[in-house]
Amino acid sequence: MRKTQDALIPTLSMLFLISGACALIYQVAWQRILFASFGADLESVTIVVAAFMLGLGSGALAGGWLADRYSSRTLLLFALAEGGVGTFGVISPKLLRWAGEATIHTSLPTIAAVNFALVLLPTLLMGATLPILVADLARRWTNIGKATGALYASNTLGATIGALLVGFVLFYWLTLDMAIYLAALGNFSVAAGVSVLLFRYPNDNRSAP
């Protein structure tokens, strides 16, 4: 069991790091699309950031519930969440621009509601991943603080890499939409990686103490 975890946990941390990098690419790219559609004034900036945060918060609660309800299926839940984010990523450029066109003449509360609805699904899935994985790792390590610190560090380190990639590499050579598709590819790769883990360690995933 110990040997299995030695291989599983670093792999999971690496996958969570990639997930963090993809999340940051989405955040910057989606904000640019939303600012171009809804305006780049303070009201729009606040709405977009608050919508992201509310989505992450709702996702956190949902993730906690799922982690308890399906405690033996945490890796599968993580893979599904990443696949979901990637799928939304693929359709997101067209969807966000379409929503921008459709709501340009509406009031600020409507725009806020539309923004929230648009980013709700992906941010809900992103927000759910941390409690799901922390709950799983905390049971393995019997230490919540240690699990939280390790996973949050790898996720935010990934986000750091994502921010640097967007600001200094991706937008120099790729278009806005291409950067989003690259992030979606990242999510699908993470989902595939977790699926491989599921096949390699089926018992480990189901027998968390």
List residues near other proteins by CB under 8 A: 24, 28, 32, 35-36, 38-46, 49-50, 53-54, 56-57, 60-68, 71, 104-105, 127, 130-132, 134-135, 138-139, 142-146, 148-150, 152-154, 156-157, 159-160, 163-164, 166-168, 171-173, 175-177
Cα dist from 24 to 106, 133, 146, 207, whole Å: 29, 19, 24, 33
Tokens of 100: 């921008």
How many Cβ atoms are within 10 Å of 117's Cβ, its own excluded? 12
Quickly tell me which residue has 């390699």 as its tokens: 200
Q: Based on CB atoms, which residue is closest to other proteins, 153 or 192?
A: 153
Q: Which residues of 164-177 are buried (b: 16+ CB within 10 A; e: fewer)?
A: ebbeeebbeeeeee
Q: How far is the CB of 56 from other proteins (least distance, A)?
A: 5
DSSP 40: S
CB of 130 or CB of 191, closer to other proteins:
130
Between 38 and 188, name the residue whose CB sits nearer to other proteins. Answer: 38
Comparison of 46 and 207: residue with beta carbon closer to other proteins: 46
To the nearest whole angstrom, how small is the minimum distance from the Cβ of residue 148 to other proteins?
Answer: 4
What is d(CA 127, CA 63) in angstroms, rounded to the nearest whole number?
Answer: 7
Half-sphere exposure of 26 (CA within 13 A, CB side): 30
By beta-carbon proximity to other proteins, the closer residue of 161 and 192 is 161
Shortest spacing between CB 99 and other proteins, in angstroms: 13
**What is the smallest separation between the CB atom of 184 and other proteins, expressed in angstroms?**
16
